[in-house]
């Protein structure tokens, strides 16, 4: 059998918030693919946990090669295939004209793409797959122009849907052999910008085997947990307002925020203003094992997000048989329903507080039943092996058709 080789391109990899990509790569390799992991940038400090050490060793970093190497690669590509370089340069110039980052940055993307194209030849990769429709997809598009290889990319949201014109999302979709969305909502947003593009839904998900054999019944203590980056889109300010109301009505209530990010100082100040120092704990970044421990120690997980794609942490909570309180945004309603959680309007403090209070005061048997329903849903909708097989099939079809749609 001819080896199936592909290059996986991510802006920053591996990082703790993108462990679902590592799981996807592992599933693809089990299906017989040889995956070359390529990250444009280094992993941010604080997100290089030991659990990702093996992936870090196996990952090639583009910018770490230095400006001189990237410039030489661009010159070599221009000499090797001037027409392809001209086509790629025009595409970079056009995308840069729409982007807030400007044309100069997109010319840097062109040099990065030249390096990626040369690496594809060196490794024998026949397909480029990028994660996120941002700069990694731009580099994939340009590398495809230079190498002649087909490319595809997975969009997650909400960043791609917030600024589709500035990201030249339509151009990226038009040039791709196919594009992947992780939810039907995401697919609908992509179709707004390229109705004739091939857009497929391939759901990401947790490694369910990692969640087996360690089930714990819902605790009696009135504890809730929120897992996510401390940023504006996650709605933590509204969550704190709701937590203050629950704390006033439920003795011993405790809220654990697992994560870190730019909004942390603001949240810490708001916690102090609301007198929640003994009610709310911010843990900072946590690895996968610690996240699972925090979820098990809670009666339910809460997400108050204003914008999302479809958070993997919801799947992880369901895998641990914990119900979820979440806002009715993006792809969340495709996974969370009344059998396994509570859905509320984004920004509605009253509704959020009411759902949170219900979660911490509900009988244990009701929480257990809802948790089991969540486990069943994630098993049926987000099986990583099944979803990887879909992606593998798509790439095989591209190989057999020469990349045409």
Distant-in-sequence, close-in-space partners of 107: CB < 8 Å, separation ≥ 6: 89, 92, 93, 96
pTM of the model: 0.90
Over residues 313-342, the pLDDT tens digits come to: 999 999 999 999 999 999 999 999 999 999
Which helix (DSSP H) or strand (DSSP E) does residue 14 occupy? none
Q: What's the average model confidence in pLDDT over 344-365? A: 98
Report pLDDT for 48. 54
Report pLDDT for 49. 59
Report pLDDT for 45. 66
Average pLDDT taken over every residue of the chain: 94
Q: Is the pLDDT of residue 78 over 90?
A: yes
Select 4-205+383-401's CATH number: 3.40.50.2300, 3.40.190.10, 3.40.50.2000, 3.40.50.300. 3.40.50.2000
Report pLDDT for 304. 98
By the 10 Å C-beta count (0-12 exposed, 13-18 middle, 19+ buried), 333 is classed as: middle
Q: What's the average model confidence in pLDDT over 284-296? A: 91
By the 10 Å C-beta count (0-12 exposed, 13-18 middle, 19+ buried), 180 is classed as: buried
Residues 179 and 163: their CA atoms lie apart, in Å, by 17
Own/partner long-range contacts of 379-382 (Cβ < 8 Å, ≥24 apart): 379/208, 381/203, 381/205, 381/334, 381/335, 382/203, 382/204, 382/205, 382/206, 382/315, 382/335
Of 145, 127, 150, 159, whose CA–CA distance to 38 is shortest? 127
Q: Do domains 4-205+383-401 and 209-381 have the same CATH topology?
A: yes
| Beta strands per DSSP E along 133-237 | 151-155, 178-181, 199-201, 223-227
DSSP-derived secondary structure for 284-353: E---HHHHHHHHHTSSEEEE--SS-S--HHHHHHHHTT--EEEES-TTGGGT--TTTEEEE-TT-HHHHH
Domain ranges for the chain: 4-205+383-401, 209-381
Q: What's the average model confidence in pLDDT over 56-74? A: 96
Look at domain 209-381 and name its CATH class: alpha beta
Over residues 112-122, the pLDDT tens digits come to: 999 999 999 99
Q: What's the average model confidence in pLDDT over 381-392? A: 92
Q: Give the rounded distance of the alpha carbon of 334 from its chain centre.
A: 16
Residue 166 pLDDT class (50, 70, 90 cuts): very high
Q: Is the pLDDT of residue 378 over 80?
A: yes
Report pLDDT for 400. 87
Which helix (DSSP H) or strand (DSSP E) does residue 24 occupy? helix 19-30
Of 50, 60, 151, 159, whose CA–CA distance to 112 is shortest? 60
Q: What's the average model confidence in pLDDT over 134-161? A: 96
Report pLDDT for 210. 73
Q: Is the pLDDT of residue 111 over 90?
A: yes
Over residues 189-205, the pLDDT tens digits come to: 999 999 899 999 999 87
What percent of the chain is modeled with pLDDT above 70? 96
Of 314, 318, 319, whose CA–CA distance to 329 is shortest? 314
Report pLDDT for 209. 73
Report pLDDT for 112. 98
By the 10 Å C-beta count (0-12 exposed, 13-18 middle, 19+ buried), 248 is classed as: exposed
DSSP state of 217: P
């Amino acid at each position: 059998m001819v080896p199936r080789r592909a290059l996986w391109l991510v802006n920053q990899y591996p990082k703790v918030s993108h462990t679902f990509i590592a799981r996807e790569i592992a599933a693809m390799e089990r299906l017989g693919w040889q995956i070359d992991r390529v990250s444009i940038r280094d992993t941010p400090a604080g997100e290089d946990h030991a659990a990702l050490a093996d992936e870090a060793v196996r990952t090639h970093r583009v910018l770490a090669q230095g400006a001189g190497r990237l410039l030489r690669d661009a010159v070599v590509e221009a000499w090797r295939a001037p027409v392809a370089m001209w086509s790629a340069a025009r595409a970079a110039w056009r995308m840069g004209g729409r982007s807030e980052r400007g044309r100069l940055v997109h010319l840097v993307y062109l040099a990065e793409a030249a390096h990626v194209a040369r690496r594809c030849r060196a490794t024998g990769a026949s397909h480029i797959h990028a994660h996120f429709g941002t700069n990694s997809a731009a580099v994939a598009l340009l590398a495809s122009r230079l190498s002649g290889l087909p490319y595809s990319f997975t969009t997650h949201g909400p960043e791609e849907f917030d600024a589709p014109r500035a990201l030249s999302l339509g151009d990226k979709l038009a040039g791709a052999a196919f594009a992947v969305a992780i939810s039907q909502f995401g697919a609908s947003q992509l179709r707004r910008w390229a109705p004739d593009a091939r857009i497929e839904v391939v759901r990401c998900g947790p490694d369910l085997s990692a969640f087996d054999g360690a089930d714990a019944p819902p605790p009696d203590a009135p504890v809730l947990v929120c897992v996510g980056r401390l940023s504006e889109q996650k709605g933590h300010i509204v969550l704190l307002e709701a937590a203050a109301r629950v704390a006033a009505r439920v003795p011993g209530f405790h809220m654990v925020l697992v994560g870190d990010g730019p909004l942390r100082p603001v949240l810490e100040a708001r916690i102090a203003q609301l007198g929640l120092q003994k009610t709310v704990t911010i843990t900072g970044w946590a690895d996968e094992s610690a996240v699972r421990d925090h979820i098990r120690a809670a009666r339910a997980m809460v997400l108050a997000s204003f914008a999302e794609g479809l958070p993997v942490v919801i799947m992880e909570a369901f895998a641990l048989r914990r119900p979820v309180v979440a806002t009715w945004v993006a792809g969340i309603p495709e996974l969370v329903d009344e059998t396994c959680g509570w859905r509320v309007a984004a920004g509605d403090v009253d509704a959020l507080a009411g759902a949170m209070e219900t979660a911490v005061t509900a009988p244990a048997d009701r929480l257990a039943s809802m948790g089991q329903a969540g486990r069943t849903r994630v098993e049926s909708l987000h099986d990583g092996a099944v979803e990887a097989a879909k992606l593998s099939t798509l790439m095989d079809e591209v190989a057999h058709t020469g990349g045409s749609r």
